[in-house]
């Protein structure tokens, strides 16, 4: 499964970056191949200052070795080894009418001292963070997620949609980071789902990513916007930073276990503002967005 999923994320990284470059039209991804001293490494691909994408990364990594102390405690095991691989992406568009997107698909194996697998699972998801809410875009994104899920189980979309709303939540602000999508973790072998079934599910979601996101970009990237709308985008990006640095388990885990900082923090937006006590005007488009972030909607 390791080899199978690694081959998948390598190909998907290529597919996604090729398509994103084509949409952008001017900027291209720069590559950084890095090694982890304790074992493994990754290929970070970053785009900056494009016509459509102001900053983004589409990164893969395959890391392995001794399970760090903090993870031993977390999983309640001792002296285990691990292998983890995945693709993580975040795209921050220039135009505030185009939403930011995040996605991640990953696979984890844990081994005993003899090298036998003692646990293995998939995780991942994809979620959308608009600055201005076009309801048809939200419906399209969620419908694409649901279609991918429904091919595997009618239970998956409602379950993983709700988990996404729960997870990407700025508790200290009482609002979601965005309008959600899917979030799943610890997808383990069960009576219903063999490991190969989970592979099919996760790759189905991965394959749906471009269909879920790029039609929205194509539709909105040419829309005019004002300086005030751009400011709103930068202020909202501040909330994105707050979530990633205060709440996101993946980011904090990476920062606290000597991960590759620049690959982890590529998720942070390029230009950000914090104003004291900024409040949207009553009945504005900005207020409409906040209301939806405070009360998640079932889009499909």
- Residues taking part in catalysis: 102
**Can you read off the two tokens belonging to residue 246?**
């205060």
- 71 or 252: whose CB is closer to its own copies? 252
State the nearest-atom distance from the C-beta of 55 to its own copies, in Å: 7
State the nearest-atom distance from the C-beta of 45 to its own copies, in Å: 10
State the nearest-atom distance from the C-beta of 77 to its own copies, in Å: 26
- Nearest CA to 215 out of 135, 140, 146 is that of 140
Residues that bind its own copies (CB under 8 A): 30, 32, 46, 48, 55, 57, 171-173, 234, 238, 241-242, 245-246, 252, 255-256, 261-262, 265-266, 268-277
Burial zone of 10 (CB within 10 Å; 0-12 exposed, 13-18 middle, 19+ buried): middle
Residues forming a β-bridge with 89: 58, 103
Strands (E), 130-208: 169-170, 175-176, 180-187
**Can you read off the two tokens belonging to residue 114?**
């003899």
- 47 or 205: whose CB is closer to its own copies? 47
State the nearest-atom distance from the C-beta of 242 to its own copies, in Å: 6
- 143 or 273: whose CB is closer to its own copies? 273
Separation CA 245–CA 251 (nearest Å): 7
**Can you read off the two tokens belonging to residue 162?**
């709700």
Question: What distances in angstroms separate CA 166 from CA 191, 224, 279, one per listed residue?
Answer: 27, 33, 24
Q: How many residues in total does the chain contain?
A: 300
- 1 or 255: whose CB is closer to its own copies? 255
Number of Cβ within 10 Å of residue 282's Cβ equals 6
- 78 or 275: whose CB is closer to its own copies? 275
Separation CA 222–CA 14 (nearest Å): 26
- 119 or 242: whose CB is closer to its own copies? 242
Separation CA 176–CA 168 (nearest Å): 6
State the nearest-atom distance from the C-beta of 232 to its own copies, in Å: 14
**Can you read off the two tokens belonging to residue 254?**
């990476």
Phi and psi, residue 253, nearest 5°: -60, -45
């Amino acid at each position: 499964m390791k080899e199978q999923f690694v081959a998948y994320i390598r190909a998907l990284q290529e597919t996604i970056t090729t398509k994103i470059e084509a949409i952008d039209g001017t900027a291209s991804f720069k590559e950084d191949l890095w090694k982890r001293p304790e074992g493994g490494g990754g290929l970070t691909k970053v785009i900056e200052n494009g016509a459509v994408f102001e900053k983004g990364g589409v990164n893969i990594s395959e890391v392995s070795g001794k399970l760090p102390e903090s993870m031993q405690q977390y999983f309640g095991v001792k002296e285990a080894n691990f292998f983890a691989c995945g693709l993580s992406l975040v795209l921050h568009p220039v135009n505030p009418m185009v939403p930011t997107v995040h996605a991640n698909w990953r696979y984890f194996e844990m081994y005993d001292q003899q090298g036998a697998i003692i646990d293995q699972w998939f995780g991942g998801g994809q979620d959308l963070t608009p600055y201005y809410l076009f309801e048809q875009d939200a419906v399209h994104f969620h419908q694409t997620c649901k279609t991918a899920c429904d091919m595997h189980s009618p239970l998956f979309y409602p379950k993983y949609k709700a988990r996404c709303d729960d997870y990407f939540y700025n508790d200290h602000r009482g609002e979601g980071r965005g309008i959600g999508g899917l979030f799943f973790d610890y997808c383990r072998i069960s009576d219903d789902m063999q490991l190969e079934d989970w592979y099919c599910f996760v790759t189905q979601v991965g394959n749906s990513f471009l269909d879920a996101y790029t039609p929205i970009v194509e539709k909105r990237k040419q829309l005019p916007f004002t300086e005030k709308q751009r400011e709103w985008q930068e202020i909202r990006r501040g909330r994105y930073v707050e979530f990633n640095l205060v709440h996101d388990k993946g980011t904090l885990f990476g920062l606290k276990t000597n991960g590759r900082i620049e690959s982890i923090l590529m998720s942070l937006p390029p230009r950000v503002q914090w104003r004291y006590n900024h409040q949207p005007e009553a009945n504005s488009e900005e207020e409409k967005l906040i209301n939806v972030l405070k009360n998640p909607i079932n889009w499909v």
